[in-house]
Amino acid sequence: MAESIFIDSIVVLLLLCALVHIVLPQATESWMSRPGVVRCVGGILLLLSIPCLLWAGGLSWTLFAVLVISGVWRLCFPRHSIHAQQRTYPRWVHGCPLLGGAILVWALRP
């Protein structure tokens, strides 16, 4: 039961982040261009990865790996994360993989 609630919470967070990236790209660019904010997001992602260790299964381990990799990158290398995303694509485009991730996690949830 707790795993299901946690996974549903991750889906909601991904959806909210996707909507903010897509609907408010300039505001998102402003917020996510600050190393302190990016580090904070990285720390949150790492905290969110911890419950994934409690459950067995491919989704939990995959979610753990994605959250840890993304969290460490943002926490330890915030400027690299900022520059890589700014050079690669506009901020609203980042909302599309977030939306896809939310749909995928929702579809694969236990």
Closest residue by Cα to residue 35 from 89, 106, 85, 107:
85
pLDDT digits (tens, 9 = 90+) for 4-44: 888 899 999 999 999 999 999 999 999 999 999 999 999 99
Quick one: average pLDDT of 59-66? Answer: 89
Q: Which of 21, 19, 105 is nearest to 66 (CA)?
A: 105
Prediction pTM value: 0.86
